[in-house]
């Protein structure tokens, strides 16, 4: 039969003649020789084999049950019970990522002059981070080395230019940016008009389109807000302007919060820039400048470059964006964070630690059981082993790290927290979703 199969295979290639055909078939097949019959096994060997076979067949159910128990009881990496209540083992819920946006202020020619990152903390308050336009980007390419040049190297397509700036800003922060808003001087005038003029403390005397703005307490009209945000005194860089920008935003948000007008902010209340401004105005807001330092590149015509301090940025984002999306695929490791001690909220310090180590918590809930002493970290893909080890060390856990091919593929790593990190907790009915924020 084997020879016939080989002949059929050979029939599908050009006919090379009988001699070529015989040369193509292994000689060991063409020249088979009869083999002497094996000696007949003795009767006791045949009986022994039959007994052993019966014993093996009889053991199959037991081995299967033992294997089933081993797999079924190892639940650390498995998906939780969709029907579980918040107080039950196995309860899980998805984490809604922190809303983020990039506010781009353009000049009269449509070129960016200010970049401001916004994030919300629930339904009240949030964070504001000012980004220098000369911030260097993580992966420079030909002609694109800073946020400023990311806009100018897209062939004049304004939409593509703005998207490129947002992408590079997200890469600098290692945070996904949900929305991009663009405003110019006219846009600012329209935005603040419902509550303008409003008061603010002006730290430096300025001249705005022929209007003198003395240092001290002033009232600013709507049409001067855009020029105020871009005003630069002799010898100043972006870092010198940011305190004035912070003061204007703080004063505007305070005016919005104190206004009785339903249209204190133009636009939608639940979407767009209107949503961000209303939410920020409703609570506490933290203001920060992107950590880093300015240098002068003498090799390129004394160009100013702002080099980010990545370690400080990581800490800042962990505070400002408790549930970040990845800036691009693979920039953050997705983490499923479960409480293995009790049905209680997971401390914010733990979720922030995950974010600080380039992770993002996408699922939270209860472990498969309670009363766990030590933390376990489970991963399904071997490439995540290093991250699992780093995270265990960062959290200070004393438990185990293991590979589980059956773990859910909707997250990269599952962490079941034990008493080594949570201590003794009491069950509550409070949601485990991290809220974070200022």
407-425 residues labelled b (16+ CB within 10 A) or e (exposed): bbeebbbbbbbbbbbbeeb
144 is written with which tokens? Answer: 């694109």
In CATH, which of 2.60.40.650, 3.30.70.2390, 3.30.1280.10, 3.40.640.10 is domain 332-422? 3.30.70.2390
Domain definitions of the chain by residue range: 1-65, 100-318, 332-422
Task: Say if strands 216-220 and 206-208 run parallel, antiparallel, or are unpaired.
Answer: unpaired
Q: What is the pLDDT along the chain (438 residues), one digit of tens a residue?
A: 434 443 444 344 344 344 433 343 333 333 333 444 444 555 545 545 554 554 444 444 444 434 433 333 344 555 555 577 889 999 999 999 999 999 999 999 999 999 999 999 989 999 999 999 999 999 988 778 899 998 876 666 888 899 999 999 999 999 999 999 999 999 999 999 999 999 999 999 999 988 999 999 999 999 999 999 999 998 888 898 999 999 999 999 999 999 999 899 887 777 899 999 999 999 999 999 999 999 877 666 667 899 999 999 999 999 999 999 999 999 999 999 999 999 999 999 999 999 999 999 999 999 999 999 999 999 999 999 999 999 999 999 999 999 998 887 789 999 999 999 999 887 775 555 554 444
Cis peptide bond upstream of 197, omega within 30? yes
Q: Does domain 100-318 have CATH number 3.40.630.190?
A: yes
Count CB-CB contacts under 10 A for residue 103.
20
DSSP notation for 398-422? -SEEEE-TTS-TTSSEEEEE-HHHH
d(CA 270, CA 285): 19
CA-based radius of gyration for the chain: 33
The strand pairing partners of 401, in sequence order, are 377
pLDDT at 64: 40
Are the C-beta atoms of 364 and 432 separated by less than 8 Å? yes
């Amino acid at each position: 039969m084997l020879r016939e199969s080989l002949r059929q295979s050979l029939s599908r290639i050009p006919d090379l003649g009988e001699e070529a055909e015989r040369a193509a078939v292994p000689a060991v097949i063409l020249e088979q020789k009869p083999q002497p019959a094996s000696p007949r096994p003795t009767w006791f060997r045949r009986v022994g084999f039959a007994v052993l076979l019966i014993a093996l067949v009889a053991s199959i159910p037991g081995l299967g049950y033992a294997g089933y128990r081993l797999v079924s009881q190892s639940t650390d990496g498995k998906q939780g019970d969709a029907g579980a209540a918040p107080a039950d083992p196995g309860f899980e819920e998805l984490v809604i990522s922190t809303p983020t946006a990039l506010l781009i202020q353009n000049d009269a020619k449509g070129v960016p002059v200010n970049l401001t990152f916004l994030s919300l903390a629930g339904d009240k308050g949030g964070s504001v981070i000012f980004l220098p336009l000369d911030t260097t980007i993580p992966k420079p390419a030909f002609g694109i080395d800073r946020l400023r040049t990311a806009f100018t190297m897209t062939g004049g397509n304004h939409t593509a230019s703005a998207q490129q700036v947002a992408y590079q800003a997200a890469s600098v922060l290692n945070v996904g940016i949900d929305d991009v808003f663009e405003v110019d001087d006219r846009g600012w005038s329209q935005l603040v008009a419902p509550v303008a003029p409003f008061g603010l403390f002006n730290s430096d005397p300025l001249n705005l389109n022929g209007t003198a703005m003395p240092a001290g307490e002033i009232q600013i009209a709507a049409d001067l807000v855009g020029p105020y945000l871009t005003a630069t005194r002799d010898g100043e860089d972006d870092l010198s302007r940011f305190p004035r920008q912070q003061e204007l935003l703080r004063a505007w948000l305070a005016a919005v919060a104190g206004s009785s007008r339903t249209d204190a902010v133009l636009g939608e209340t639940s979407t767009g820039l209107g949503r961000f401004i209303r939410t920020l105005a409703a609570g506490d807001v933290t203001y920060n400048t992107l950590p880093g330092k300015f240098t002068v590149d003498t090799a390129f015509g004394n160009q100013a470059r702002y080099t980010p301090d990545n370690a400080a940025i990581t800490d800042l984002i962990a505070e400002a964006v408790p549930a970040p999306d990845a800036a691009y695929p693979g920039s953050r490791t997705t983490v499923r964070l479960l409480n293995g001690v009790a049905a209680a909220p997971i401390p914010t310090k733990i979720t922030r630690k995950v974010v600080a180590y380039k992770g993002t918590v996408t699922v939270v809930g209860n472990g498969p059981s309670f009363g766990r002493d030590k933390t376990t970290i489970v991963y399904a893909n071997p490439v995540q082993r290093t991250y699992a080890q780093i995270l265990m060390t960062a959290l200070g856990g004393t438990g185990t790290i293991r590979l589980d091919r059956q773990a859910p593929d909707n997250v990269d790593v599952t962490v079941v927290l034990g008493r080594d990190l949570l201590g003794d907790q009491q069950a509550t009915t409070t949601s485990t979703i991290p809220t974070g924020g200022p």
